[in-house]
Structure 1
Amino acid sequence: MKPMHSVIVIGGGFAGIAAARALHDASFQVILLESRDKIGGRVCTDYSFGFPIDLGASWLHGVCKENPLAPLIGRLGLPLYRTSTGDNSLLFDHDLESCALFDTDGNQVPQELVSQVGETFESILRETNKLREEFSEDMPIQHAISIVFERNPKLRLEGLPQKVLQWYLCDMESWFAADADKISLHCWDKVSEEELLPGGHGLMVQGYEPVINTLAKGLDIRLGHRVKTINRQMVRVKVTIENGKTFVADAAIMAVPVGVLKSKAISFEPGLPEWKEEAISNIGIGIENKIVLHFESVFWPDVEFLGVVAETSYQCSYFLNLHKATGHPVLVYMPAGQLAMDIENMSDNTIASFAVTQLKKIFPHASDPIRYLVSRWGSDVNSLGSYSYAKVGNPHDICEKLRMHVHNLFFAGEATSASYPGSVHGAYLSGVMTAQDCRMQLLKHYGKLDLFHPVVDEDTFASMPLLISRVLVNKENEIESLI
């Protein structure tokens, strides 16, 4: 079939690939421009260890058939290691029963105390919710917690329990990739229980790369094409890349990370309207990095994650145990917020040494890693941040404003997803929805709109059950199917 209309998609992450896939399958002429030398964006599966390691997104949040990525993951037979079985868990992508927390002297915190402090933390968060009705003006969640302590002295903790509480705060900051003094009281849990997908959280054992490669198959993708200028004309869009080459189409979809939009590395002619510029400027973009440590052998407990409790959340630590899910002796240190930003100022070797130092606080005789990997999402010019979060003062409709199109210029990405921000399936779904919006606007403009023609064929991805387990994958990477 002869292509009907042309669209330029800018950005080869999940949102951009999903948008390009949907429009291509709807017989549009699509060119995707990606600044990196590979697709994936903030999904980055590394194979330098001889097995897959996700340096960016690595979880499927909502292990269920309702997840829009489930049909494709199921069809590909990719195994998931479920790190959390609880439904609608906004904060934790793991179950606390499979954790081991230690103080800085290497003493393990009793599990009973971990659970008790967890209940106290939940009580504190419930009390902060009450402040929303009392204070019309937004405030950082950290300030809200201090007010709760002033009004409810019994919730204050001291000694080891206080350090465990700081670890819980550190874990919350990791979810948002931002410090508690920047997270919005009014919006931090704005995703309602009805919008959260059930099924808990699953780690992509083989990484996300097979998923995005499947989506990208057959698309016209131009790598190493860094966009510098977008010129909107009456019925066309002209896109100019770094070397001066131009591309022209009926419409364009911006699927670059919001950090890149905030940096103004791409100029718009004419400029974006004030409401769009304001939304881009105000949305929060957090940083969470991964320092992957590959050891000769395992010397740590058989739990899903390890934590170091301390006086402040900045001093606390979080290690994901990939051996539990993959069988490889790998720990992943995951700093977030200000700590993640500070670490990016160091060399890779110094960063790895810093992570090992945190580990040796709980295992003084730990061996040094044989290899390591370091992510730098905050300083990577192609991302300038890990994912969006609810910043203090953000209006509730900021995601919708980010997604709204400007004439024939459309926007996609995890930050534009009001229901699933900061997630891979949120990015994917935003790409599909934006492609639908773009298609309908173009066909409406040219008088060819068919409301009954879906932008994505329902048979594109045959539904297959997800392969889920909470047991170690065997040597052949076979995994028990629980559904």
Structure 2
Amino acid sequence: METKVPPSDDLHDGAITSLIQGQNNLLQPSVIVIGSGISGLAAARNLLDASFKVTVLESRDRIGGRIHTDYSFGCPVDLGASWLHGVCNENPLAPIIRRLGLTLYRTSGDDSVLYDHDLESYALYDTHGQKISAQLVAEVGESFKRILEETEKIRDENTSDMSVRQAISMVLDRHPELRQEGIRHEVLQWYICRMEAWFAIDSDLISLRCWDQDECLSGGHGLMVQGYEPVIKTLANNLDIRLNHRVTKVSRTSNKVTVTVEGGTVSVADAAIITVPVGVLKANLIEFEPELPQWKASAISDIGVGCENKIALRFDAVFWPNVEFLGMVASTPKACGYFLNLNKAMGHPVLVYMAAGTLAKDLEMLSDESTANLVMLQLKKMFPNAPDPVEYRVTRWGTDPNTLGCYAYDVVGMPEDLYERLGEPVGNIFFGGEAVNIAHQGSVHGAFLAGMEAAKSCERYLFERGVVDTCEKHRLVSLPTSSNILDTSPSFPLQISRM
């Protein structure tokens, strides 16, 4: 076969082009982002739009992390995060949601730090299937509010921290008039159950000192009617994301980071941003070389990780009342139940059972079929003639090796600087994820902001060390002002419904 040799001028032009491209590559800083949850995608999006060379490594065969919109029922069902906490234009995710025209179904009209629902559209039952009067539920709710107010006094009186459950017990000893008996006691346990669901942990592990210190955005809480996947896909647009790349080792020198994945593939960059869940870091599934300093390792070790699982049930037809959620009271918080009614919010015959804390972990020891059967036993106590579901989906966030839990919680007696240490970089390794955003921990927008902040910190670090020259710095800009992904125009209002 004859090989054609191009003219010498072409060779000269090609050599010049290669040289220019090589110089540009030297000027372009490179970052590896580990994890493609919303925090990792936000970090990668920020850096890509600022002209960095970005590679995202993801252990799963999908993006999104603990955001996972399932379509197997023929409709979107979020098996992980499903609420926007703070339905307002100040929410950093609002510009994307507006631009995509996504609808929010508001389930709460206030800035509650405990519940994602108001008691406006619900049905609560006892274990015999008897519906509990709205007046009784409201009265017990007022008593619970008073109990929590009294725990603030106990917090002020004690220099050492304690659990919320211990503080509640002390309040009831001091104020026997706040004790509840019979069915009222069971309703009180249901309120505690809902509190535990908010933190994804049992109340005997929730820090009294910290439980109400979150900053809540205005506008209450809204379900993502079309699911969170459109937001995830938008952030991931044009990113270099490599699925099925489970990171096993991160090695750092003074000016480079080497990342190794299962199978031995190695990538090298100027810096890395780690956004994997805290549970993965706590399990030491990623080796660091050199080892992380003690102040960082202890922050990872000391932080708590809660667990909440969902069991989604699809039926042929709706047989339950037209309310936002169904609940069952019981003698202990663990035995109480909570079903989200997606038919009310989205028009689909789907109920989603929510289990948190010890119950969530216990369910993971069962098969999917046994878990669904157990949940159906509870549902049939409310509705004896309830048919079996057509299909179901069961999550296992606590044992999933890609998550090993859901989101961080405040451990009783934890050091005050724990979260600051958790978010601090180690040389050219930076950390994102919901846990490092102190103000909005456990929320999607908190994880998003943490990724943005990690990217900006990384950018500043590389600038200060001269990874890019001065003329290159002028064209590097940061989100949100420069990105065409985020439309910050207020002319597109949030689409909010509540049936």
User: Which range, TM-score by smaller chain?
Assistant: over 0.9
Percent sequence identity over matched residues? 58
Gaps of 5+ in 1: 472-483
Residue in 2 aligned with 1:189?
212
Q: Which of 257, 274, 284 is the matching residue for 2:294?
A: 274
Residue aligned with 2:56, SS: strand
Residue 238 of structure 2 is aligned to residue 218 of structure 1: yes
Residue in 2 aligned with 1:147?
170
Residue in 2 aligned with 1:476?
none
Give the CA deviation at 1:332: 0.4
Residue in 2 aligned with 1:77?
101
Q: Which of 98, 102, 111 is the matching residue for 2:125?
A: 102
Residue in 1 aligned with 2:407?
387
Residue aligned with 1:96, SS: coil
Q: In the alignment, is the contact (CA less than 8 A) between 1:81 and 1:203 conserved in 2?
A: yes
Deviates more, 1:397-406 or 1:429-438: 397-406
Q: 1:85 to 1:261 in 2, by over 3 A?
A: same
Give RMSD over aligned pairs: 1.3
Counterpart-to-counterpart distance in 1, 2:268 and 2:476: 26
Give the CA deviation at 1:263: 0.4
Residue in 2 aligned with 1:308?
328
Give the CA deviation at 1:396: 3.3
Counterpart-to-counterpart distance in 2, 1:74 and 1:391: 36
Residue aligned with 1:93, SS: coil
Give the CA deviation at 1:395: 2.7
Residue aligned with 2:259, SS: strand
Residue in 1 aligned with 2:4?
none
Residue in 1 aligned with 2:9?
none
Larger Rg: 2
Residue 194 of structure 2 is aligned to residue 174 of structure 1: no
Map of 1:26-45 to 2, 5 A cutoff? 26-45=50-69
Deviations 1:261-291 (A, max 9, x none): 0000001011111111111111111110000
- TM-score (normalised: structure 1): 0.95
Q: Give the residue type in structure 1 aligned to 2:369.
A: N
Residue 12 of structure 2 is aligned to residue 10 of structure 1: no
- Divergent runs of 4+, >3 A: 447-454
Q: In the alignment, is the contact (CA less than 8 A) between 2:51 and 2:476 conserved in 1?
A: no
Give the CA deviation at 1:77: 0.4
Counterpart-to-counterpart distance in 1, 2:74 and 2:191: 34
Residue aligned with 1:361, SS: helix
Q: In the alignment, is the contact (CA less than 8 A) between 1:187 and 1:394 conserved in 2?
A: no
Residue in 1 aligned with 2:182?
159
Residue aligned with 1:335, SS: strand
Deviates more, 1:334-343 or 1:129-138: 129-138
Deviations 1:102-121 (A, max 9, x none): 00001111001111111111
Counterpart-to-counterpart distance in 1, 2:296 and 2:211: 22
Counterpart-to-counterpart distance in 2, 1:391 and 1:188: 10
Residue 494 of structure 2 is aligned to residue 466 of structure 1: yes
Q: 1:98 to 1:452 in 2, by over 3 A?
A: farther
Give the CA deviation at 1:453: 5.8
Residue in 2 aligned with 1:238?
258
Q: Give the residue type in structure 1 aligned to 2:497.
A: S
Q: In the alignment, is the contact (CA less than 8 A) between 2:271 and 2:428 conserved in 1?
A: yes
Residue in 2 aligned with 1:114?
137
Q: In the alignment, is the contact (CA less than 8 A) between 2:186 and 2:332 conserved in 1?
A: yes
Map of 1:405-416 to 2, 5 A cutoff? 405-416=425-436
Counterpart-to-counterpart distance in 2, 1:417 and 1:263: 21
Q: Give the residue type in structure 2 aligned to 1:467.
A: Q
Give the CA deviation at 1:354: 0.7
Counterpart-to-counterpart distance in 1, 2:271 and 2:213: 32
Residue aligned with 1:291, SS: strand
Residue in 2 aligned with 1:51?
75
Give the CA deviation at 1:457: 4.5
Q: Which of 153, 160, 163 is the matching residue for 1:130?
A: 153
Deviations 1:390-432 (A, max 9, x none): 1212233322211110110000000011110000000001001
Q: In the alignment, is the contact (CA less than 8 A) between 1:251 and 1:409 conserved in 2?
A: yes
Counterpart-to-counterpart distance in 2, 1:395 and 1:64: 33
Q: In the alignment, is the contact (CA less than 8 A) between 1:187 and 1:396 conserved in 2?
A: no
Map of 1:261-300 to 2, 5 A cutoff? 261-300=281-320
Counterpart-to-counterpart distance in 2, 1:459 and 1:237: 28
Deviations 1:427-465 (A, max 9, x none): 001001110000001001117576996411415222331
Counterpart-to-counterpart distance in 2, 1:452 and 1:284: 41
Residue aligned with 2:393, SS: strand
Map of 1:368-379 to 2, 5 A cutoff? 368-379=388-399
Residue in 2 aligned with 1:475?
none
Deviations 1:63-99 (A, max 9, x none): 000000000011000111001111x210010111211
Counterpart-to-counterpart distance in 2, 1:335 and 1:5: 44
Counterpart-to-counterpart distance in 2, 1:308 and 1:452: 58
Gaps of 5+ in 2: 1-20
- TM-score (normalised: structure 2): 0.92
Residue in 2 aligned with 1:480?
none
| Alignment size in residue pairs | 467
